[in-house]
Amino acid sequence: MSTFDSPAFRRFVETFADRLHERRDELTQLDSAIGDADHGINMDRGFSAVRGKLDELAAADLGGFSKGVGMTLISTVGGASGPLYGTFFLRLATSFGDRASATPDELGEALRAGLDGVRQRGKAELDDKTMVDAMSPGVDAYEAASADGMGAALAAAATAAAAGRDRITPLVARKGRASYLGERAANHQDPGATSTTILFESLRDAVAES
Amino acid sequence: MKKLMNAADDMVDEALAGMAAAHPDLIRVIEPNVIVRADAPRQGKVGIISGGGSGHEPMHGGFVGTGMLDAACAGAVFTSPVPDQMLAATKAVDGGAGVLHIVKNYTGDIMNFELAAELAQAEGIEVTSVILADDVAVKDSLYTAGRRGVGGTVLAEKIVGAAAEEGQDLAAVTALCQRVQDNVRSMGMALTSCTVPAAGKPTFEIGDDEMEIGVGIHGEPGRERRKLASADEITEALLTPILDDMPFSSGDKVLAFVNGMGGTPLIELYVIYNKVAQMCADRGVTIERNLVGSYITSLEMAGCSITLLKLDDEMTRLWDAPVHTAALRRGA
């Protein structure tokens, strides 16, 4: 497949929602070690709300669909994850505009816009031990591989996101509640980087299915 | 877990409904979980709103009324409210003179308030924000999310609320709020943990002979776990870092606030205050005003926090101004 359309976006959102639900306790467990023990609960609540309105949201063009997902997350997730994932989908929406489908390059531009939005909202940089450490290498890998097609680029992105998630496990956090822990946050896997890796894996698998 | 509750999921909604039923002359509660001053919006008056996770009562909802907050947004227990709430609050209190958001420094609160401010501005309401970050237990550096917003928030809400009540404009109340932030320092401690209703078990384990120094208001870890000590030693452990951080020095006039964390009786808070007064006197610091009681809590956690605010004449005058809210009432 060489374009990303509304059915593909819907499969992506459904897959992400399913996996967040399945891995809810794992994400919360990771968060209880270095945060405030609610990441899985909050993400599952938000994506359950998205799932509940999927028919309504999917009726819009690609931009409208993504905007609807973003607004729903902002209204239902709370904490830091709501604004961060909400902003990601809102920036995707702006980048998609009123297109019915996106080419591999256009999807890359949208993912880059989403990453920029997350960085601005969270004011996090690489090595702060946050979701940016999975998302940034994911987007870089997508762009580097996009000439090979959307499927190959998304596979590269998911692999790079997972590697980013694992790379920061030994680090001390510099943003979010984990930063209060100082050295005690080292050698714990980051929950936000974990859910972001699930996002890229869901995107890869949703597009591969078509 | 033993609590006066029906269902954990209904606790915040039912508490807000109870507040509305108890104080119809002061407040009303609008969807989605926003406590609004009964006579809002007041034309020409700057609106002052705050909010945060529930579980810190009476902050913030108990401070809505004349001379303090115009609205407060109540999130789930210890979870930031969502932007829809701050947007609804901002619209409900906007009297055409703009709205100030008083935000405690937690990553979630900051981002949700920031989004709400952008949405409100897109609707033509002028919004400014001041972030309270007064907890000296957390290192203020580029390598953390920064200091937590704790007891100083209560003092800021009172002083800034009075300024808005007497008609100061948005730029003036914003600058004043920042001045309070720049001059206030706090630190807290816990004797026991607290239990988040939805979690059903204590947030942290602590022995009968232990205490946590430098604790946050959500049961976050503090600077260190120590053997239980006397009230005087605890006061020294909290007040010395506060005095040294600012630093407060001879000749300074301050407001001293001794706060209970939810599970500590007033008799113990006065024992703490007694030592605070001695230590300030020893340093030549004059306590011009004080507040003793449980105003920013962490559910049923036992423990206390100490806050010192370096006063100037305007802050003192505004602290003394009339206030009528559910939790704080004076001269009105």
Q: What residues in chain B have per-residue pLDDT under 50?
A: none
Looking at the complex, report in whole angstroms how far the Cα of residue B287 sits from the nearest Cα belonging to chain A. Answer: 31
Which chain A residues are closer than 8 Å to B106 by Cβ? 177
Closest CA relative to residue A107, chosen from A210, A4, A2, A1: A4
Backbone angles phi, psi at B57, to 5 degrees: -55, 145
| Beta-carbon separation of B83 and A76 below 8 A | no
Are A83 and B84 in contact (CB < 8 Å)? no
pLDDT band at A191 (very low <50, low <70, confident <90, very high): very high
Least confident of A59-63, A144-148, B3-7, B194-198: B194-198
DSSP A89: H
Which residue type occupies B154? V
The residue type at B41: P
Q: What are phi and psi of B36, to 5 degrees?
A: -120, 140
Token pair belonging to A16 = 């992400």
A82 has a chain B CB within 8 A of its CB: yes
B278 to each of A98, A173, A182, B281, B304, how far by Cα in Å? 68, 40, 34, 5, 18
Task: Write b or e for each residue in B48-73: b if 16 or more Cβ atoms lie within 10 A of its Cβ, otherwise e.
Answer: bbbbbbbbbbbbbbbbbbbbbbbbbb
Instruction: Give the chain A residue nearest B111 (alpha carbons).
Output: A83
Give pLDDT, residue B167. 98
Question: Which contacts of A181-188 are long-range, i.e. CB under 8 A and separated by 24 or more positions?
Answer: A181/A34, A181/B221, A182/B139, A182/B144, A184/A34, A184/B221, A185/A34, A185/A129, A188/A30, A188/A33, A188/A34
Cβ within 8 Å, pair B111-A83 = yes
Helix/strand/coil for B137:
coil
Segment A27-56 mean pLDDT: 89
B324 is catalytic: no
d(CA B303, CA B292): 13
Rounded mean pLDDT of chain A? 93
Residue A184 pLDDT level (bands cut at 50, 70, 90):
confident
- Give the mean pLDDT of A5-19: 96
Residue of A180, A181, A183 for testing the chain B interface, max B β-carbons within 10 Å: A180
Cβ atoms of residues B125 and B91 within 8 Å: yes
Contact B112 A78 (CB under 8 A): yes
Q: B80 contacts in A (CB within 8 Å)?
A: 78-80
Please enumerate residues of B whose Cβ is less than 8 A from a Cβ of A.
75-76, 78-84, 106-108, 111-112, 114-115, 138-139, 142-145, 148, 199, 216, 218, 220-221
pLDDT at A210: 66
- Mutation pick from A177, A181, A188, A190 vs chain B, by most beta carbons of B within 10 Å, is A177
Nearest to B138 by CA among A32, A171, A181: A181
Q: In the beta sheet, which residues pair with residue B187?
A: B306
Residue B69 per-residue DSSP state: B
Question: Which residue of A38, A74, A182 is in closest CB contact with B79?
Answer: A38
Cβ-count burial of A206 within 10 angstroms (0-12 exposed, 13-18 middle, 19+ buried)? buried
Tokens coding B327: 């939790």
> What residues in B contact A181, CB-CB < 8 Å?
221
Whether B56 is catalytic is yes
State how far residue B313 is from chain A, nearest Cα, in angstroms. Answer: 35
- Kindly state the average pLDDT of the residues A12-38: 90
**Cβ distance of B143 and A78 shorter than 8 Å:** no
DSSP three-state, residue B286: strand
On the question of pLDDT at A6 being above 70, the answer is: yes
- Give the chain B residue nearest A39 (alpha carbons): B79
Cβ burial, residue B4 (10 Å; 0-12/13-18/19+): exposed
Q: Please list every residue in chain B whose beta carbon sits closer than 8 Å to the beta carbon of residue A174.
A: 142-144
Cβ–Cβ contact A191 with B under 8 A: no
CB contact under 8 A, B78 and A36: yes
A8-17, A86-95, A179-188, B16-25: the lowest-pLDDT one: A179-188
Q: Is the pLDDT of residue A1 over 60?
A: no
Whether the pLDDT of residue A87 is over 60: the answer is yes
- pLDDT of A2 higher than 80: no
Domain extent for A16 = 4-208
The count of structural domains within chain A is 1
Do B307 and B184 form a contact (C-beta atoms < 8 A)? yes
Assign residue A75 the CATH number of its domain.
Answer: 1.25.40.340
The answer to whether B95 and B71 are in contact (CB under 8 A) is no
- pLDDT interval class at A165 (50, 70, 90): very high
Is A180 within 8 Å of B138 when comparing Cβ atoms? yes
Tell which phi-psi region holds residue B192, choosing left (phi > 0), alpha (psi between -120 and 50) or beta: beta
| Domains of chain B (ranges, CATH numbers) | 8-183+319-330 (3.40.50.10440), 184-311 (3.30.1180.20)
Nearest to A177 among B76, B84, B107 (CB): B107
Q: Please tell me which residue in B23, B56, B60, B101 is annotated as part of the active site.
A: B56
CB contact under 8 A, B221 and A181: yes
Q: Does A177 have pLDDT greater than 90? A: no
* pLDDT at residue B143, as a whole number: 64
Q: How far apart are CA A117 and CA B17, in angstroms?
A: 37
- Output the pLDDT for position A3: 83
Bridging pattern class, strands B34-37 and B184-190: unpaired
pLDDT tens for residues A42-52? 899 999 999 99
Q: Select the residue from B34, B115, B144 to test the A interface by mutation, using most A Cβ atoms within 10 A.
A: B144
Indicate yes or no: CB of B107 within 8 angstroms of CB of A174. Answer: no
**B25-40: per-residue pLDDT in tens?**
999 999 999 999 999 9
